[in-house]
């Protein structure tokens, strides 16, 4: 994260000098998977937003590589059409009212296209002849190509850093499908380059609200003293979606909710809320603390895990099919579309505090959030008065709402000392100008400036897989519990918390 160049912060009522905006260094971005969805829906809008912010160097170039044929002019036109379509597509992550012709023109004229098979050495020798200076290779491709493309880049000499130029590779998720495959992939890519050349992306870390958790925790004196087993009873981390698997059945069938969301996205949320304070904001200081936290996660026992699969139901008042009726999904599929886990962290701060994680598709609400449940006061004059003392909660609202809520008790107006729960809520939009963002801007920019803070290091990825591996093994042949589309998930997930005397907050419950 480049702290010096954030043009976004505005303090209401307070004049502030704007920090100068630093352009990223000159480089060429080579996108493998140029014709794919990720390129169209997220990478191009993010590059456009960086161009809008004047953060790209004049000599910045984008080379698209795809196995499907196209031409420079054809690719430019396709992307221009898609960018234009976002102005009327309310479902996309990017929905501007208009496309700024100057900013899009900046990107458009820097695009060139090369058809190439990701398995053919000619694709890479051709690139080697065409590229000089700083280069970022972005692997916006299916995971099965990660290893082969990195091998081919290395063999073609494209990862050699000379004359002060950098050669970096951005690798999308899923990085491996279990501990063994993640280890093997790390070993394979690290034969071709140094750890500092590989940027393993997790787009949750591109979310402002996720990055801000560190600011809220470590830049304020208010919260630190309660951030501890003595005061926190339990923690809930939820990433609930209302959409189904859509057209991604072929990817999702062998993957499932656990691999798709837990060792990556949910563990990143876990790190943000549970890691110790790093000594500085340097990439390695932050990543060391994250690595320590993930290593302290006790391997999850199958009894602490629940898997569910959505059956037909209702979403926003419309009938929707069950997972097994989705395209490219087996009629007897046992892939989970929902997972709930109870996690324990073996360190002095969190020992005995349960962390409950859940994620699912086709659920009752779209909510990504972290809720800390605070223990009631050890001794209270309200004890025995007959008025209920509700436990306080602190809620980080990550998506789609963005803010922080503290729910606590106050006196209800009236002659008696009765309590009622109130919420102190802060919304990002009330304090900060919204910067147009699809979540990949900071990640791309950080890769250009060589800041790896928001990217996953090899050791953390492996520790995360190690934590979930016992569950993956146990689930290889396990049945899956159905839940109705549009519901809160399977009954087993309620039982998981009920054992401990806890319950999930309803999705969106205050």
Catalytic residue from among 265, 373, 499, 502:
265
Binding of residue 241 to ligand BG6 (CB under 6 A):
yes
Dist. CA 24–CA 164, nearest whole Å = 16
Inter-CA distances, 296 with 32, 186, 343, 344, 497, Å: 36, 21, 10, 8, 22
Which of residues 256 and 278 has its CB atom nearest to ligand BG6 in the complex? 256
Which of residues 212 and 368 has its CB atom nearest to ligand BG6 in the complex? 368
Query: Is 265 a residue of the active site?
Result: yes
Shortest spacing between CB 201 and ligand BG6, in angstroms = 10
Beta strands in 173-246 (DSSP E): 198-200, 232-240
Which of residues 7 and 36 has its CB atom nearest to ligand BG6 in the complex? 36
Which of residues 42 and 345 has its CB atom nearest to ligand BG6 in the complex? 42
What burial class does residue 319 get, using C-beta atoms within 10 Å of its C-beta: 0-12 exposed, 13-18 middle, 19+ buried? exposed
Binding of residue 336 to ligand BG6 (CB under 6 A):
no
Q: CB–CB of 353/297 below 8 Å?
A: no
Binding of residue 368 to ligand BG6 (CB under 6 A):
yes
Shortest spacing between CB 263 and ligand BG6, in angstroms = 12
Q: CB–CB of 45/93 below 8 Å?
A: yes
Binding of residue 399 to ligand BG6 (CB under 6 A):
yes
The owner of tokens 């995360």 is 464
Binding of residue 337 to ligand BG6 (CB under 6 A):
no
Opening angle at CA 164, ends 163 and 170, nearest 5:
120
Neighbours of 230 (CB within 10 A): 12
Dist. CA 353–CA 231, nearest whole Å = 10
In sequence order, the 6+-apart residues with CB closer than 8 A to the CB of 73 are none
Peptide bond into 400 cis (omega under 30): yes
Inter-CA distances, 328 with 44, 198, 253, 367, 401, Å: 28, 32, 8, 27, 33
Number of residue whose CB is nearest ligand BG6? 260
Binding of residue 326 to ligand BG6 (CB under 6 A):
no
Which of residues 315 and 399 has its CB atom nearest to ligand BG6 in the complex? 399
Pick from 260, 288, 441, 446 the residue near ligand BG6 by CB under 6 A: 260
Task: Name residue 423's beta-bridge partners.
Answer: 407
Q: Mark residues 477-506: x for contact with ligand BG6 by CB under 6 A, - for none.
A: ------------------------------
Shortest spacing between CB 400 and ligand BG6, in angstroms = 9
Which of residues 368 and 453 has its CB atom nearest to ligand BG6 in the complex? 368
Work out whether the CA dihedral 29, 30, 33, 35 comes out positive or negative.
positive
Residues of the shown chain interacting with ligand BG6 in the complex, contacts defined by CB under 6 A: 241, 260, 368, 399
Give the catalytic positions in this structure.
265
């Amino acid at each position: 994260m480049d702290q010096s160049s954030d043009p976004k912060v505005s303090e209401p009522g307070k004049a502030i000098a704007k920090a100068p905006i630093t352009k990223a260094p000159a480089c060429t971005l080579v996108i493998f998977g140029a014709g794919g969805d990720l390129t169209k829906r997220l990478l191009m809008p993010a590059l456009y937003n960086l161009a809008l912010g004047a953060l790209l160097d004049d000599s910045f170039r984008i080379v698209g590589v795809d196995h499907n044929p196209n031409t420079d002019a054809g690719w430019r036109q396709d992307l221009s059409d898609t960018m234009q379509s976002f102005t009327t597509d309310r479902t996309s992550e990017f929905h501007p009212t208009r496309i700024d012709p100057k900013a899009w023109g900046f990107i458009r004229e820097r695009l060139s296209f090369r058809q190439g098979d990701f398995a053919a050495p000619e694709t890479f020798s051709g690139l080697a002849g065409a590229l000089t200076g700083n280069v970022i290779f972005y692997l916006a491709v299916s995971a099965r190509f990660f290893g082969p493309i990195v091998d081919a880049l290395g063999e073609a000499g494209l990862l050699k850093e000379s004359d002060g130029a950098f050669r970096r590779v951005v690798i999308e998720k899923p990085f491996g499908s279990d501990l063994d495959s993640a280890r093997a992939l790390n070993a394979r890519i690290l034969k071709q380059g140094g750890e500092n050349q590989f940027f393993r992306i997790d787009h949750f870390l591109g979310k402002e609200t996720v990055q801000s958790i560190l600011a809220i925790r470590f830049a304020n004196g208010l919260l630190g003293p309660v951030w501890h087993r003595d005061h926190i009873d339990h923690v809930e981390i939820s990433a609930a979606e209302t959409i189904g698997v859509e057209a991604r059945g072929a990817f999702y069938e062998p993957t499932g909710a656990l691999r798709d969301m837990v060792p990556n996205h949910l563990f990143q949320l876990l790190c943000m809320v549970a890691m110790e304070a790093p000594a500085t904001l340097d990439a390695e200081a932050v990543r060391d603390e994250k690595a320590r936290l993930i290593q302290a996660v006790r391997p999850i026992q199958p009894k602490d895990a629940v898997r569910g699969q959505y059956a037909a139901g209702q979403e926003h008042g419309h009938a929707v099919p069950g997972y097994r009726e989705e395209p490219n999904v087996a009629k007897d599929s046992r892939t989970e579309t929902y997972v709930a886990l109870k996690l324990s962290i073996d360190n002095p701060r969190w020992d005995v505090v349960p962390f409950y994680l859940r994620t699912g598709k086709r659920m009752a609400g779209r909510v990504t959030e972290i809720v800390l449940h605070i223990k009631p006061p050890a001794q209270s004059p309200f004890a025995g008065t007959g008025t209920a003392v509700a436990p306080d909660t602190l809620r980080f609202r990550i998506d789609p709402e963005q803010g922080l809520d503290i729910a606590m008790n106050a006196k209800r107006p009236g002659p008696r000392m009765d309590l009622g729960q109130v919420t102190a809520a802060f919304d990002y939009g009330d304090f900060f100008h919204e910067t147009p963002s699809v979540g990949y801007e900071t990640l791309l920019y950080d890769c250009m400036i060589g800041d790896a803070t928001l990217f996953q290091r090899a050791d953390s990825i492996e520790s995360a897989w190690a934590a979930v591996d016992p569950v993956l093994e146990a689930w290889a042949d396990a049945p899956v519990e159905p839940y109705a589309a549009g519901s809160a998930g399977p009954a087993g997930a309620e039982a998981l918390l009920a054992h401990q005397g806890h319950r999930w907050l309803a999705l969106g419950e205050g």
